[in-house]
Structure 1
Amino acid sequence: MAETVPPLTQVEQLSALLQKVALTAESANQKVNWESILKLLGTDEHSPGDVLNGVGEDTLKELLEFLDIWISGRNTMIPTKWEADYTDLVYCSTVEEVQAKVKECLSNGSILRIAGAQHSTPEAVFAPEGEKAIRVKLEGDLRAIEWLGKDPVNDTITLRVGAGCNLGIDPSDPNSNASNSLTRQLDARGYALPILGGMSHQTIGGYMSTSTAGGSIDFGCADSILAIELVDGQGQVRKLDKVANPDEFNAAVVSMGLFGVFTHITITAGKKYLVKGKEETVLRPNSIITSGTAFLDAVHQNHYVHNVWFAAEFVNSVLQWTGNQVAEDPGNPVVPYVHPLESRNMNYAAATTFLATAWLTYDNAPQLAALIFNIIQPVGSVQNFCDHWYRALPNDDLALIDVVIRVQFTEIWIDLEDAQKVFDTLTTLFKNDLFAAGNFGVEIYPGKKSPFWMSMSYGRDVIRIDPYWWEYNVIGDLDEYFEKFWKVLLPFESARLHWGKHWPAVGKTYGSRKAIGPGFVEESYPKFGEWKALRAQFDPKNVFVTKYWNDLLGFEAE
């Protein structure tokens, strides 16, 4: 008679499942010492180690079932493909077609809004359902590039770019590809932009109009822009030049689609380069965000800096990334940057982790949550890279951020000189509120002082704080989560919010600041009054104004 094999204990089952997660990570070239990690679970059901303290039998059972479903690929909650909202879009390929649509809106009282890559929140892009509105997407000539000429002395090139041209590749747009992207076309001719954000899906028009930026105080998008062309709210074409029309230019560049429809942007680009740098995961006390001084030193010593702080209890690690421009020559061989989530398997392993850690955190099992998280993002992992500018700077393009790791943001910009106060504030927040750390990370990086009146970095270098909210979270609420950060960071006198990301509801107050709405914006932006007056000249009938922007900025009196 065959010997009966006793069933695996819950701890043994959990060990086996976590081993699968770890091996998935290893298959994507992640160095995971899962044997030592799994020892934390213990070998005896009655002495499972500190990591299981406080974890009830029911919680373990549910987690086992949950992880098994996810690791086996039987969960279908996350789509295999995501597409932007192209419902009822009107495509315009020429300036004349844009003019005709604006005049149509003038005659029938419709609102006109532009759809770029739709990376901003829906309310920032479109009119709400029920409002009479036209959604326009730029195509054809309005995505094309005209090469105007080279400056051999400064080794730069000037080009006129259709505002609908994507910086990189937008995976949700079937018409977007490498051959028609701005970055690849520039690189093929030997040139480069000095800065890009963490991803490059955006159109150049959308990137500019929301003041999106990369992690640098040395380079900003304002360094590249020479002139803009737009169709205003009366259907007239206007060209605003950085030198000839400085006030109108600096007012209109960052205008959230409220001055008119950008049709072309004239930019300058310099010689292409590589970004040489280092990425590593360290404990926060050993990181460049351990203090304001350490952060400022890193920002001043490197062209590019960004960090993701995983602040959960028993984790408290930082994925820190620093890089510098170097010449593309034999002395700097290309070493490709490898994203932690570059493989499809790793993206789904990370998704499993986000769900499990959220669940366990709310079930008061933070040590087990931390164990699972550290398998995916182990402290001590390090890589050196020397990669092409269009890969290294927007490196989140290399992960499945359009499908699996879809993230919602609020983004708070504060005077760089207040970095230490920001870190003190966040440290206190995470200490006092276990849930503020969330199940993902908080990105912290710098931004360069901007001349654009409504840029979040107008007049000063900034530190930027981006709490991540994973779009497929099954526990918690996005606004409640962001509210934790708004409560402690918006009372900073210099705090400003990214125009394309999530904002608190109009009317809410934080500290001694004026209520969210026109008063808050007015005290945040010294040129706001002049900006509104100019905007009224460009769009006297409010063709581009939705209820969202009217409530936030107050155009009713115009």
Structure 2
Amino acid sequence: MQTASANIPTLPVNGVTFYLPQSIDDVKALLRQARQANQSVSVRGSGHSFPLTPQTETSANTMHIMLSHLNAVSLDKTTGIVTVQAGCHLGLDPFDPTKISTTENSLCYQLDPLDAQGRRTQPPGWALPDLGGITHQTIGGFMATGSSGGSTKFAFEDALLSVRVVYHGETDVEERVFERPATNDPNDPFYGAAFASMGLMGIVVEATYQCIPAFNIVGSEQTFSQSDCSMVDLFGPGSGDTPSLQQFLNKTDYTRLMWWPQASEQEMVIWQAARADAFKDWQTFVPKPYLEVPKPFGSQTLQDVIEWLAGKLFETIDRLPFFIELIIKRIFPKGNPTREELIRELEKMQDGMLLRILKFFVSQGEDQQFQDIWWNGLPMDNQMSDDLFPVWFTELWIPIEQTEAVMQFLKKFYQNPENAGIFSVELYAAKASEFWLSPAYGTDVFRVDVFWFAKNEENPVDYYDRFWRALPAAGFYFRPHWGKYLPDPNGPQGITYLQAQYPRWNDFMTLRQQMDPHNLFVTPYWQKQLGLS
């Protein structure tokens, strides 16, 4: 018997077969097939979520779907209301395995088109209130993981008006539109299904946003000593003209801080930007882009080569001590003081070399001023290659009123070199959200985003666990970013802990059961992480 998906194209990605539906009817056919075959259903966006994406791809008895062909955008240029299909990317995804993603078919470009030099050739269009550090993501993926930019004033989800969800009800596939309630009723299911739903309510196939008039940004990046920062009182309450970090996060339109806490560094790199009028003299506005990393001789290709070489150098240095240590152990007997001292010195040298590589390739190293168009300037990390220089994260969202206390705690915590590691930590904020399982639900948050270079052969979970355990023990009860590394579900910051952090957890789960009575969207990953059955 021919399956309903027989005429739907597929694509192998990392050894996994993905269905590529070309219409909403195709999506419905796939859900019927999955229900008949008793499969779980997983939808992949840009694949930026680690370890969610790779772990889901290894799941047995799972149907994998990419919505790359569902990328249509319909913009009312008079009102700024845009309806976009969930497979559309925010910006160019240079790693899109389908090769469908382009700058020109991205949402941001279609809202506010630019030429190849990043300049407008027509009056400014429309914008979203905020963007994350990259724009590779699909609309569906960005919303599903509850992602956010770095602002307490503006939030991506504030523009969201509705989502259309395809799901399998008790007997057949159905559609449901969740619309933002005119009364902003916090009990409306819109706040459970439309954002930060982890794909557990069904497949979001389109979303509608109320855009705002396009804007530019003007900003700077400056590097300060951890102990002598004239811009912000990093660890105190602020004084005079120097704001506390919480005050700085609240008053600045967009900002992020990159902290190198190692004893040999102790630097804070502060990126900040303010909105600027895009309509005044738009014909003569010349962008001066932010440079996150130096582009040798202005060549992106050469930069890619150097990033690749840096990754290989990191891998080599990361492995070299293992072989040298074997030689040392053969020469000196166990317990010999010389042997132990040599091994300790070798580890110190290795960490120092790895730190220098990472810092050189993720930091411009010079103060700079920049100005740009909103969708080219806000995603400041688009310049980094996820493929050549991959970075993994665990991101912990903490009520913003605890910012000063968290910084004081981290300053002491990082005095232990094992805690400081060899990479930076990103510090930024997010605006309070009404969505039930947003990590910013009910409160502005201070976010601690711990970096891990993916080519490091050690297990990132061992390092992240230091933060997962230490912060709650000190009274800082975080909510983790759903699209990044999560604590062990059976550990002290696992399922029971997460349930306690979300006042609307039970409401979300009740709605989830209504939307997915057959647990079609409960993949093994989310079953494990959230304790779903």
Calculate the TM-score normalised by the size of structure 1: 0.77
Instruction: Report the AA paired with residue 177 of structure 1.
Output: T
Matching of residues 147-546 of structure 1 within 5 Å:
147-148=75-76, 150-151=78-79, 157-173=80-96, 174-188=99-113, 190-234=125-169, 235-243=173-181, 247-253=188-194, 254-287=196-229, 288=232, 290-291=234-235, 293=237, 294-328=244-278, 329-330=280-281, 333-342=286-295, 343-344=303-304, 347-348=307-308, 351=311, 363-365=347-349, 381-400=366-385, 402-432=386-416, 434-474=417-457, 476-491=458-473, 492-509=475-492, 515-517=493-495, 519-546=496-523
Q: In the alignment, is the contact (CA less than 8 A) between 1:276 and 1:324 conserved in 2?
A: yes
Distance verdict in 2 for CA 1:404–1:126, change over 3 Å? closer
SS in 1 for 2:211: strand
Structure 1 residue 484, shift from structure 2 partner: 1.6
- The whole-number CA distance in structure 1 between the counterparts of 2:420 and 2:73 is 44
Partner of residue 154, structure 1: none
Aligned match of 2:117: none
Give the distance between the partners of 1:129 and 1:370, measured in 2 at CA: 32
| Residue range with higher mean Cα deviation, 369-378 or 259-268 | 369-378
For the residues of structure 1 that align with 2:352 and 2:34, how far apart are their CA atoms? 57
Please tell me the residue identity of whatever aligns with 1:168.
Answer: G
**Cα separation, partners in 2 of 1:371 and 1:199, compared to 1, 3 Å:** closer
What code does the residue aligned with 1:337 have? Y
Aligned partner of 1:76 in structure 2 is none
Provide the secondary structure at the position in 2 that maps to 1:131.
coil
Give the superposition deviation at 1:270: 1.2
Unaligned runs of 5+ in 2: 1-11, 114-123, 238-243, 296-302, 322-344
Cα displacement string for residues 301-325 of structure 1 (whole angstroms, at most 9, x for unaligned residues): 3100101111122111122100011
| Cα offset, 1:122, TM superposition | 4.3
Query: What amino acid sits opposite 2:202 in the alignment?
Result: G
Q: Percent identity over the alignment?
A: 29
SS at match of 2:382: helix
For residue 486 of structure 1, what is the amino acid of its counterpart?
Answer: W
Moved more, 100-109 or 242-251: 242-251
- Following superposition, the deviation at residue 206 of structure 1 comes to 0.7
Q: Deviations over 1:514-552 (max 9, x none)?
A: x511x2222010000111111111001100002221233
TM-score scaled to structure 2, two decimals? Answer: 0.80
Shift of the 84–339 alpha-carbon distance from structure 1 to 2, 3 Å rule, reads farther
* Alpha-carbon distance in structure 2 between the residues aligned to 1:232 and 1:94: 15
Instruction: Pick closer, same or farther for the CA change 1:419–1:84 going to 2, 3 Å.
Output: farther
Q: Match of 1:28?
A: none
**Which deviates more, 129-138 or 332-341?**
332-341
What are the equivalent positions in structure 2 for 1:55-74 lying under 5 Å apart? Answer: none
Taking the aligned partners of 1:384 and 1:344, their CA distance within structure 2 comes to 24
Deviates more, 1:383-392 or 1:334-343: 334-343
| 1:85-100 correspondence runs (5 A) | 85=14, 87-100=16-29
How far, CA to CA, are the matches of 1:357 and 1:451 in structure 2?
Answer: 46
The count of corresponding residues between Structure 1 and Structure 2 is 459
Deviates more, 1:417-426 or 1:359-368: 359-368
Query: For residues 368-418 of structure 1, what are the alpha-carbon distances to aligned partners after superposition, in whole Å with 9 as ceiling and x for unaligned?
Result: 776777766789720000111112111111222x22221011110000110
Aligned to 1:137: 66
CA contact (8 A) 2:47 2:53 kept: no
The amino acid that maps onto 2:380 is N
Contact 1:357 1:370 in 2 (8 A): no
Q: Which runs of 5+ in 1 are unaligned?
A: 1-82, 152-156, 510-514
C-alpha contact 2:218 2:372 (8 A) present in aligned 1: yes
The question of whether the paired residues in 2 share the 8 Å contact of 1:146 and 1:159 is answered with: yes
Distance in 2 (alpha carbons) for counterparts of 1:187 and 1:520: 43
